[in-house]
Structure 1
Amino acid sequence: MTDIRAYRPSDRAAVAAICTRTGDSGADATGQFSTDDLLPDIYALPYVEHEPELALLVDAGAGPIGYILGTADTTAFDRWFVERWWPTVEGKYAAAAASGVASESERGIVRSATDRGGLAPELLAQYPAHLHIDLLPETQGMGVGRRLIDAFCELLAERGVPGVHLGVGVSNTGAQQFYQRTGFTRVEGDPGAHWYAKVL
C-alpha cells in the first residue's frame, strides 16, 4: 500500500537523499559534486524548513520514496532563502570553490542559488506558488506523481493561491510530458529551463 502523507521532521534525511538520488534529471546524482548536500541544500531542505505544511511524501511502508515540496509565495520564499537560509550553508560551497574541488557545474549551481530566476513578474503574479517533485524509480507505474500534484494543488487552492509554476531541465523531456499530462502549460521564463504553470 502506497500512502501520501504529511512531512514529519524525522523525514528530513530521507528527503535529502531522494533529492540527491533524483538530481540528475531524474537519475542518481550521488558523488557528482564536492558534497551530496548541494542539491538538497538548494532544492529540498529549504522548503521543509520554510513551509513544512506544504511538503507531502510518498511512503510505501518502509519510508519515503518520493515527495512534493514547494511554496505558496515564490517572492517571499526567495527573499527568505537569500537572507536567512543560504547564509547558513553557503560556507561549505565557498570552501569547495576556493580549494578547486568544485566543478564548473557545481559553481554554476551555487551561483544560481541566489540568482533566483523564474517567471516574468506579470506571470509570477498569476502563478505565485512553485513546486518541486522527485520520485525514486520504484514509484514508477504507481500513479503517485499525479496524486501528489493533485494533493499539493488542493493545499494551495485552500489558501486561495491562484496558480502554481515550476521549471524543468531542457533535456528532461519525460518530466515535461508528465507536467503537460497533469494540466500544466508552457509559459515564458528565464532561459536554461522550460517553465510550466497551472491555474488553481
Structure 2
Amino acid sequence: MDSTPLGQRPVIRRYRDEDHDAVYDICVRTADAGGDARGKYASDDLMPDLFAGPYLHLEPELAFVLAQGERVVGYVIGTVDTPAFVRAYREQWIPRLAHRYPAPTRPPRTPDEEMIAQHHRPERMLLPQLADHPAHLHIDLLPEAQGAGHGRRLVETFLAAAAQAGAAALHVGMVTANVRARGFYDRLGFQEIPVPDPGPITYLGRPTSG
C-alpha cells in the first residue's frame, strides 16, 4: 500500500513548455542503458537533443510527464506515425539544430560523432519489420520514481492517446543490455519483433488497445 500523502503522490499530466529542461535532465540521467550519462559526451544536451527534444517540438500533444508537486520525475513521449515523424525530423529538427550539430564530413571517430551521425540519419527508424507498429514511444523515470507502478501508468496513458489518434500498434527500441527495461516491457504485454542485424537494440511491440 502506498503510504505517500495524497498531495505528494506523483500525477500524470500533459507536457508544458516549462517542463522542457526537466525532461532534458531526466533523459540524460537515464540515457546510459538506464543509467546516468552525464559527462559521457561533450554536451549533456546531446542525448536529449536526439531522443527527447524532437518529440517535444514536433508532437507535444503526445508528451506526458510524471509530476511530484512542481517537480517532474518522469515522462513519456513519442509519435503515432513514425514515417511522418522521420520526415518532420529531417525537414524541421535537423535545420533547427544545424548550428549545434553540422552535417558530418567524415565517418564518426568518437562517441559524440557517432551520436551526431545518428541525428543526421533519422531514416534509421524506418525498418520494414516495424511497419505494422507505426507508433513508437520513449519513457524515462528518475530512479526515485521507478518500481512503484508509475512507468506502467505512463505507458498506458500514451497507449490510450495513440489509440485515440488512430494508431493500432506501437513499438519501442530498447538497449538490449538493459535487462530491467526488458522485464518492464514484458510485463506490459510487449513482444519481440524480429529485426535482422539490430545491433545493440531490441525491438518490441504491442497493440495500443486490448
Question: Quick check: 2:82–2:126 contact (8 Å CA) kept in 1?
Answer: no
Q: Does 1:73 align with 2:81?
A: yes
What aligned pairs does 1:107-186 form with structure 2 within 5 A after superposition?
107-115=113-121, 116-118=123-125, 120-121=127-128, 123-186=129-192
Cα distance, 1:118 vs structure 2: 3.7
Aligned AA (1:144): H
Q: Does 1:194 align with 2:202?
A: yes
In the alignment, the residues of structure 2 paired with residue 27 and residue 111 of structure 1 have an alpha-carbon distance, to the nearest angstrom, of 22
Higher-helix-fraction structure: 1
In the alignment, the residues of structure 2 paired with residue 90 and residue 21 of structure 1 have an alpha-carbon distance, to the nearest angstrom, of 25
In the alignment, the residues of structure 2 paired with residue 51 and residue 118 of structure 1 have an alpha-carbon distance, to the nearest angstrom, of 16
In the alignment, the residues of structure 2 paired with residue 160 and residue 103 of structure 1 have an alpha-carbon distance, to the nearest angstrom, of 41
Aligned AA (1:167): G
In the alignment, the residues of structure 2 paired with residue 125 and residue 37 of structure 1 have an alpha-carbon distance, to the nearest angstrom, of 30
Aligned AA (1:129): A
Aligned AA (1:70): G
SS of the residue corresponding to residue 28 of structure 2 reads: helix
- Identity rate, percent: 42
Identify unmatched segments of 5+ residues in structure 1.
none
Q: TM-score, normalised by structure 2?
A: 0.86
Cα distance, 1:144 vs structure 2: 0.3
Give every structure 1 segment of 4 or more consecutive aligned residues whose post-TM-superposition deviation is greater than 4 Å. Answer: none
Identify unmatched segments of 5+ residues in structure 2.
1-8
Give the structure 1 partner of residue 111 of structure 2.
105
Q: Does 1:62 align with 2:70?
A: yes
In the alignment, the residues of structure 2 paired with residue 118 and residue 45 of structure 1 have an alpha-carbon distance, to the nearest angstrom, of 16
Cα distance, 1:119 vs structure 2: 5.7
Cα distance, 1:103 vs structure 2: 6.7
After superposition, give the CA deviation of every residue in 1:143-188 in whole Å (9 maximum; x if it has no partner): 1010011110001111121100010112111111111111110002
SS of the residue corresponding to residue 99 of structure 2 reads: helix
Q: TM-score, normalised by structure 1?
A: 0.91
Question: Quick check: 2:83–2:126 contact (8 Å CA) kept in 1?
Answer: no
Q: Does 1:42 align with 2:50?
A: yes
**Alignment RMSD:** 1.9
Question: Quick check: 1:25–1:172 contact (8 Å CA) kept in 2?
Answer: yes
Give the structure 2 partner of residue 15 of structure 1.
23
In the alignment, the residues of structure 1 paired with residue 206 and residue 180 of structure 2 have an alpha-carbon distance, to the nearest angstrom, of 18
Cα distance, 1:111 vs structure 2: 1.2
